Structures are given as C-alpha cells and as structure tokens.
Amino acid sequence: MNAPGRNISTDPPRIHQLDDAAINRIAAGEVVERPASAVKELVENALDAGASRITVELSDGGKSLIRVSDDGHGIAPEDLPLALSRHATSKIDGSDLTHIHTFGFRGEALPSLGAVGRLSVTSRLAGASEAAEITVSGGEIGPLRPAALSAGTVVELRDLFFATPARLKFLRSDRAETQAISDTLKRLAMAAPGTGITLRALSDGAARILLRCDPENGEFFDRLGQRLNGILGADFAANALPIDATREDLRLTGFAALPTYSRGAAVAQFLFVNGRPVRDKLLTGALRAAYSDLLSRDRHPAAVLFLDCPPELVDVNVHPAKSEVRFRDPGLARGLIVSGLRHALAEAGHRSSSTLAGPTLGAMRAEPDTPAAAPRQYQRDYASPGARQSAYAFQAPLPSAPVIEQTGFAETAAPSVRSEPAPEPAETTQHPLGAARAQVFENYILAQSDDSLVIVDAHAAHERLVYEDMKAAMAENGVAAQALLIPEIVDLGEAASLLLEHQEPLAKLGLSLEPFGPGCVAVRETPAILGTINAEALLRDLCDLLADGAGLDLLSARLEAVLSRMACHGSVRSGRRLQADEMNALLRRMEATPHSGQCNHGRPTYVELRLQDIERLFGRT
C-alpha cells in the first residue's frame, strides 16, 4: 500500500532534447501514413519539377519497393544532401506562406521517407553532363556518388517502415495498399491532365500495368474530359455536365454528373483547390447541398470540381499531408459551389442518365430454354428498305369505307384500289421525348421519337413538374408567414447574435425573429407551410449550421421537403387513364422544366431506348 503510484515519482522528470533520428521518425508519422502517402509526396515533387511523364513502380503493395521516375528538371548534385535534410526546399523562401503555387513546400517528404525506410535519389540536372546519387537508410545519409541517368529524377524507396516496425502492423493487405496507391494517382492524374502517369506492379520479375494515363492536349475542358474518360469511364463522360462559374475572385470549373447518374457511396467525388486534391468537409457538404433537392438520402452525386482562387484567400498549411484547407470566406466558396452546380443542373432540363437503358434492355432479354441451350440463330438476310416499306404499306389496315344500308344489315363497299393511311405529322416525333403512342398499366406512357422509344413514369414526372411549379411560386411570391399568438422566447446564449445577423434573409423564408434581452430571441412568425413546429429545436439547428455556413439551407430544405410531399399527393395518380393530348402535354412540359429527368425522390422519370438497341435485342443487327 505504501508503493508509489505508476505516475507518481519522487524525482521530477528532466527535459531533454531528442536526437535528430527520433525527431525525424516522429515527424515522418505525420507525413507518411502508408505507402500511398509516400507515393503522393514523391509524385507531387515530380509534378512540381515540371515532369511530362511519371512512372510509378511498386512491389508488395509498396511495402518492399516504391520507385518513382520522372523527366523533370532534376536536382543539382550539390543540392542532393540538402534535399535530404528537414525543411529544405526550393519552392518557397520562407518569407511568405500565403502565396503557395506548388504541391509541396514544407521540405519534409524526402527526410521523412529516409527516416523510416531505405531511400535512394538519383537525379540529373537539365543541361548537366552527368547524374549523381545519394542514399539514406534509417536517417543515416550516405556519400554522394556519380550515377548513370539520361534526364530527370528517380527516387527509390525500399523496406518502408523497417526503422519503425510497429507501423507495419497497421498496414493492410498488399491488394488494399495497391488500391490506395492507385486511387491517389488517379486524383493526381486529374489534377494534371497534361502529364502522363503510369503505375506498374512488379512481381516475380514481371511488370503489370495497373494504371496508364497518357498526356492530354487541347483546352482545359478537352484535356480534363479526355482524362476523366480514361479514369472514370465513358459512362461518366457521357452523363457529366461542364461546370464554369465565377463569384468575386473564386472560379469553379470541372464536370458534374446528372442526378440520375448517382452512386451508392461518395466514391466518385473529387475536389481540388488551386489544383491540389483535398478532402474538405465544407466542399463536400456544399456538393451534397447542391444535389439535395434531386437525390434521395442513400444516393451520392458524382463530380470532379476545381475551385481556383488567389492563394492568399486559402490556407493550405493546416495539415501535414496538405489534404485540408481553410478559406478566408467559407460562405463564398460554399455558395459558389451550390449556385454553380444548381444552375448547370437546371440548364440540363429534362436530360436523364444514358446508363438507364442498359439495365432496361437487360431485363427484357429472354432467358435461354436450358442452361446448355445453343445460341439462337436469326435470319440475317433482310429485304431492302424500299421493299420493307412497300410490304408495310400493303399490310396496313384498310381505310373505312362507306356504309350501305340494305335490308336492315350494314354492308361495306370494298374499295377498288388500296390506299395508304395518312402519315403521322413529322413534327410530332421530332421533340426530344417524342410523341405519345399509348399508356400501359394506367401509369406508363410509351412515346416514340425519331430514333428511340421513350417510357415515361407519368406519376413521377408530374410530381416533379408540380414541385418545380410550387418552388417557382414560392420564390416569386415569398414564403407565407404565420404569426404566433404568443411569441416564443428561446434562450440561445452567445449564439443568439449569430442568428440575428441573418435576421433579414430568415424573414424572407417566413421566420421572423427579434432580440429579447441578453442571449434570447423572440420568434414572432414561422413559415405557414410548416404548420406547428418546435421553434427552439429549429433555431438551435440553425445556429449550429450557420456556424458552418449552411444555416439558411436547413430552413430552405425543410420548406422544400413540405412542398415535395404536397406535390406527391397532388400529382397524377397511378391508375388514371390519360388522353393522347394529356400525355403529349405532359411530355412537352417535361422538356421545358428543369430537373424533370428525375422525380422528387431521385428516381428517373423516363427511360430512353435507342432504335439500334431495340433491334439488337431482337437480333436484327
């Protein structure tokens, strides 16, 4: 019982200075978390060196070997030892940390990698007669030696974390680490579409290419579109909208996918600030808010967005890995993303994802009679287009003939010559959604355009149309407010001042507030459309979101949720039979209404099947 406690000592601990090796290993833990972190730092250095082609080779998921080769400007031999010391860099002079125009600037990558692995750097300065090589192992720097290299720099990292074995226990499988490296390189490839990036996996002396992005040429949107087509696939490129919006000193560019091209997880969201890949909650929240009215809660948008601004308006020096940023005016950045995306999506009108036709056609394919059934053979010899047209005309129904009354029976006089029926007016099928031909199951409209068949969910389409009309009316006439018989007093403390700063815009949304003593707010009017609400809970939520620059969106979202429910109950119900003019009127309104390609719940309102796809379904190709 008299033994001193574990944390109690009779002699106070003395402060002492850690040696350089320990300092480097501690600092390396902030910069190098896993092999993907090492690849990120090395490739960013290559991009800063002006490389046009970068090759990354790895073995065992990067645990035993990472080799990055580039054709950049290289490093002078006398600078190589200095490049391996901490906080030594050629990218800034230290006098100004606000004007950062490069990926790296801390001077920590190479020393950190040399502290936890076996690192060698071979480089040849542009115009130099020979190359030089230097090595470092566990923080111990070797001598400078001449080497053979035609141009650029080759950085080779072996046995990552051999100097800190405890870190190896936290690494995942080789496959998972390789996938993380590939994801990192894809982000950097999007940030630099003019640079070629290749990823190779080495195993038993053989090299397997996991990623290859050749340099793209042309204007920004052309280069970026081609790069995204190679990385994210042709489906994203076919369903993405170009984004180009400006607000004050900020500019937003990139591509955002249609709402109907959504994903089950946020795996297709890539955000860049001044060309730097970032994972920022503010930007991610703004992206989600822009699609909030178009997607259900379990779906996520796909987008590649570049936010560019003067360097002094953003701080990139808030995280060792430089993956987080801080804006001087967060509300301005958020507002630009929300408004820019919503404007682009509204201009898309009724457009829907082109990927919807694939599952639809797949569902229509007939199953084989038996598992081992031979593929069906179709006749491939077709008549000429002229012969088919003549045959169709001959098989057309006979026109109505005059009725001859005779002894109480109705008889028809057979025509002497077959006459073709009057053709449909050409303009009826030239609309994007075509002309209505039929309604099946009392809900689905079948429409025909010049080269496709369109299947429309009448209830979902009308629901979106009614919703958009109600939103437009609310924006034009304002939100009707309901005065409270007895004002509700809410004690918010210091947050009350933040809420009262937005008193005027909240009043336009039907929420009327007044100061009522220190830290208190009097609620005099609430949006009538919301009915009876818990004013205190609403105000506290608004205060929390206003602190993050999103408070007004909460109230708008609640109002729009009510309008959405009202539109759902007020739209065309399933089971109602529509006349031809009603169906065509619905199609024309869809073509003229923004966001009509998806309903209020994020589901598509129509599916378009191309004629060539339908003919392929029946083996007529």
> Which whole number is the average pLDDT over 327-351?
87
Least confident of 2-6, 21-25, 94-98, 515-519: 2-6
- CATH 3.30.565.10 domain locations along the chain: 20-213
Closest CA to 311 of 326, 321, 298: 326
Closest CA to 600 of 458, 429, 464: 464
Residue 303, strand partner residues? 256, 269
- CATH 3.30.230.10 domain locations along the chain: 220-348
Mark 355-374 as b/e (b = at least 16 C-beta within 10 Å): ebbeeebeeeeeeeeeeeee
* Amino acid symbol at 342: R
**CATH of the domain spanning 425-621:** 3.30.1540.20
Mark 218-247 as b/e (b = at least 16 C-beta within 10 Å): eeeeebbbbbbbbbbeebbbebbbebebee
- CATH 3.30.1540.20 domain locations along the chain: 425-621
Residue 512 confidence (pLDDT) above 80: yes
41-63 pLDDT tens trace? 999 999 999 999 999 999 999 99
> Which whole number is the average pLDDT over 490-501?
83
Q: Are strands 512-515 and 435-440 parallel, antiparallel or unpaired?
A: unpaired
Band (pLDDT 50/70/90 cuts) for residue 405 is very low
Q: Is 566 exposed, middle or buried (0-12, 13-18, 19+ CB in 10 A)?
A: middle
Q: Please enumerate in sequence order all residues whose Cβ is within 8 A of that of 305, keeping only pairs 6 or more positions apart, or say none.
A: 243, 252, 253, 254, 256, 270, 271, 272, 283, 287, 337
CA atoms lying within 13 Å on the CB side of residue 180: 19
Residue 223 confidence (pLDDT) above 90: yes
**What are the structure tokens assigned to 54, written together?**
């970068």
* Amino acid symbol at 273: V
Q: How many CB atoms lie within 10 A of CB 331?
A: 14
Give me the residue label for tokens 């392929």: 616
Residue 599: what pLDDT? 82
431-486 pLDDT tens trace? 888 899 999 988 899 999 888 899 999 888 888 888 888 778 777 777 778 888 88
Question: Is 119 or 613 the better-scoring residue by pLDDT?
Answer: 119
Residue 365: what pLDDT? 58
Indicate the CATH number of 20-213 among 3.30.565.10, 3.40.30.10, 3.30.720.210, 2.40.50.100. 3.30.565.10
> Which whole number is the average pLDDT over 535-548?
75
Q: What percent of the chain has pLDDT over 70?
A: 75
| Cβ(393)–Cβ(420) below 8 Å | yes
Least confident of 39-53, 59-73, 522-536: 522-536
Residue 424: what pLDDT? 47
Q: How far apart are CA 280 and CA 286, in angstroms?
A: 10
Residue 96 confidence (pLDDT) above 90: no
Q: How far apart are CA 12 and CA 596, in angstroms?
A: 72
593-620 pLDDT tens trace? 888 888 877 788 888 888 888 887 787 7
> Which whole number is the average pLDDT over 67-72?
95
Q: By three-state DSSP, how is residue 588 classified?
A: helix
| First CA to last CA distance, the chain | 91
SS3 annotation, 64-86: CEEEEEECCCCCCHHHHHHHCCC
Q: How far apart are CA 448 and CA 427, in angstroms?
A: 12
- The per-residue pLDDT of the chain, averaged, comes to 80
Residue 572: what pLDDT? 62
Q: Is 515 exposed, middle or buried (0-12, 13-18, 19+ CB in 10 A)?
A: middle
Q: How many angstroms separate the Cα of 428 from the Cα of each of 392, 440, 449, 585, 589?
A: 21, 20, 8, 12, 15
- Based on C-alpha coordinates, what's the Rg of the chain? 33
Closest CA to 290 of 316, 324, 254, 315: 254
- 220-348 is a CATH 3.10.129.10 domain: no
* Amino acid symbol at 314: V
> What dihedral angle (degrees, nearest 10) is formed by the CA atoms of 352, 353, 359, 363?
10
| Cβ(269)–Cβ(300) below 8 Å | yes
